[in-house]
Amino acid sequence: MESVITKISNVNYKVAIYIRLSKEDEKLGESESITNQREFLKSWTAEQGFEIQGVYIDDGFSGTNFNRPGFQRMLKDIDSGKINMVVTKDMSRLGRDYIGTGEFIEKYFPAKKVRYVAVTDGVDTFLDSSGNDIAPFKAVFNDMYAKDISKKIRVSLRTKQKQGLWVGGCPPLGYMVDPDDKNHLVPDPEEDYIVKYIFRLALSLKTPYQIKEILTNEKIPTRAMIKGKVNNRIQAIDSKKGYWNTKTVKGILTNQLYTGDMVQNRRQKVNYKVKKVVYNKKEDWIIVENTHEPLVSKEEFELVQKMLPKNTIRNEKKIYRLLDGLLYCYECGHRIGICNPRKSDGRTYIVCNYYRLHSKHKVCTSHGFNYDALEETVIATIKKIAKEYINKQELLNQINKVKFESPIEKIKFELSKKEEKLNLKNSNLDNIYLDKIEGKISEDMYQRVFKRVSTEAKELELEIKELKEKLDNVLENSKLEIDYKNLLEEFINMSIPNREMMLRLIDKIEVHKDKQLDIYFNFKELNNF
């Protein structure tokens, strides 16, 4: 692609070359490889006559956030003045998150007097070139692109899952990935005896709770002890110390994978930005029978399912409070429970569950704060953030209206142009056919022109199809944003918010021992306030 960037003289540019390759990019092909990006940027910088101060690489990092070591190192060097220019191959290398990327291009770089160039996009923050006008649009597009890729990868994973191929990361306890075939599972000799033991205990009528006690007392190692691996932060602390957990035991006893059947797609990420995992309904699981060596027979497994105690019913008398299930201890990571109102004065207190269970071991502190004050603070804080967010969105909309076309209008315009072109091609095809019949052109000529025009028409049809898909994606995403905005507005107008509202808005709230609160929203943009 031709670069529109020209050299601005009499400034001594110290260039940072920034390179990013995500796992998603890798799966789609080689064109964006680290080597390609580096060669491309080095030769571009040399052509411009700039000096390369450093090369910053993030290999295997997604562009949906900025927690990347190479990127962070670069920011440090910008802060210390080592660098005054940043170059990437295209804008999506900088980031695929619209708001975040925009912040860097529109605020951070200008504030630090750093020139930013995205070579193939023709973006240069020091030039008033036409390339810059499309920067915000591009950023939106890159955001869509990340979503697009996560969809593509999901689809291709699903195809493999349907063939009974293992496509997960770390297999469940007892299994390892076959060294000769990464899509096949084999029993892990370090772990398989543990799983067999757990099933044996269950068959001898032990409950998951009793099994957990037995395993811990007999010092049967947890996976965290064997491999140093843990899936879940809450369980991590215990399992590193060799404490087994009832939930882990129950998870093993109910996992059909141990009967030799491949069970996948049990859970998935909510979307490409949020790392939160949701559990799929059982009918959406992808099960392929007899794909690997079982650790328990199908008959025994069925028996265990019948014997397992049904989900323990929670205390019926317990009143659900607004923040029930959302509170976590910042210090130890365990849940924070809300006690029933105290009989003496009717006040409600919270307590760290880990502290409550093991208070004599001094594992954590009580975090025993007044619940009502906490709830009040949380509501007030969310209202404040919601108002600020809505104001900022309205401001952004105003700016976008004046300065840039909306991406939706832009795609619609492109689409109408392409459709017009396609109509023209089709009527061309009609015309040359008539020309042939009327003997104005030879058969030979007709064949050649027909072939060319119909190929062009087919290409256009394909482009139109892609644009329509893109439009659907953009519409879907803007709908998501509007939904969230409406939810926030609803929240602001509610005098007393309900639990459903809280669960939709908030992922979790961490309570520090010094009473600080960290609120994590389900909508990522709000977490940056």
Nearer to Zn ion, 364 or 474 (CB): 364
Q: Ramachandran region of residue 375, left (φ > 0), alpha (ψ -120 to 50) or beta? A: alpha
Decide: is 41 part of the binding site for Zn ion (CB under 5 A): no
Give the residue from 204, 184, 301, 212 showing the smallest Cα distance to 253. 301
Distance CA 116, CA 139 (A): 14
Stretch that binds Zn ion, among 156-164, 189-197, 361-369, 412-420 (CB under 5 A): 361-369
Selected range binding Zn ion among 18-26, 226-234, 244-252, 348-356, rule: CB under 5 A: 348-356
Answer for the pair 23, 157: CB distance below 8 angstroms, yes or no.
Answer: no
Q: Toward Zn ion, which CB reaches closer, 200 or 241?
A: 241
- List, as one string, the DSSP characters of 279-323: EPPGGG-EEESS-S--SS-HHHHHHHHHHSPPPPPP-TTPPPPTT
Selected range binding Zn ion among 191-199, 325-333, 371-379, 437-445, rule: CB under 5 A? 325-333
Name the residue nearer to Zn ion (CB basis): 185 or 511.
511
Beta strands in 10-50 (DSSP E): 14-21
Residues 149-178 that bind Zn ion (CB under 5 A): none
78 binds Zn ion (CB under 5 A): no
DSSP string, 445-494: HHHHHHHHHHHHHHHHHHHHHHHHHHHHHHHHHHHHHHHHHHHHHHHHH-
Rounded to a whole number of angstroms, the minimum distance from the CB of residue 489 to Zn ion is 35
Side chain identity, residue 297: S
Give the shortest CB-322-to-Zn ion separation in angstroms.
21
Q: How far is the CB of 241 from Zn ion (least distance, A)?
A: 15
Maximum alpha-carbon separation in the chain: 105
- Strand residue runs (E) in 293-399: 327-329, 336-338, 350-352
**Minimum distance, C-beta of residue 235 to Zn ion, in the bound complex (Å):** 14
Binding Zn ion by CB under 5 A: which of 296, 364, 386, 511? 364
Interface pick for Zn ion out of 139, 144, 352, 505 (rule CB under 5 A): 352
The interface region with Zn ion, picked from 190-198, 328-336, 371-379, 453-461 by CB under 5 A, is 328-336
> What does the alpha-carbon distance between residue 465 and residue 461 come to, in Å, rounded to a whole number?
6
The yes or no reply on residue 329 touching Zn ion (CB under 5 A) is yes
Q: Mark the segment that binds Zn ion (CB under 5 A) among 20-28, 128-136, 151-159, 358-366.
A: 358-366
Binder of Zn ion out of 5, 140, 332, 509 (CB under 5 A): 332
Closer residue to Zn ion (CB): 174 or 333: 333
Q: Whose Cβ is closer to Zn ion: residue 71's or residue 354's?
A: 354
Number of residues engaging Zn ion in binding (CB under 5 A): 6
Length of the chain: 529
Q: Is the distance from CB of 329 to CB of 320 less than 8 angstroms?
A: no
End-to-end CA distance of the chain: 38
Structure tokens at 17: 């070359």
Q: Which stretch binds Zn ion (CB under 5 A): 116-124, 201-209, 364-372, 415-423?
A: 364-372
Instruction: State whether residue 79 is helix, strand or coil.
Output: helix
Min dist CB 359 to Zn ion, Å, is 11
For the bound state, the minimum distance from the C-beta of residue 243 to Zn ion, rounded and expressed in Å, comes to 15
Interface residue list for Zn ion (CB under 5 A): 329, 331-332, 352, 354, 364
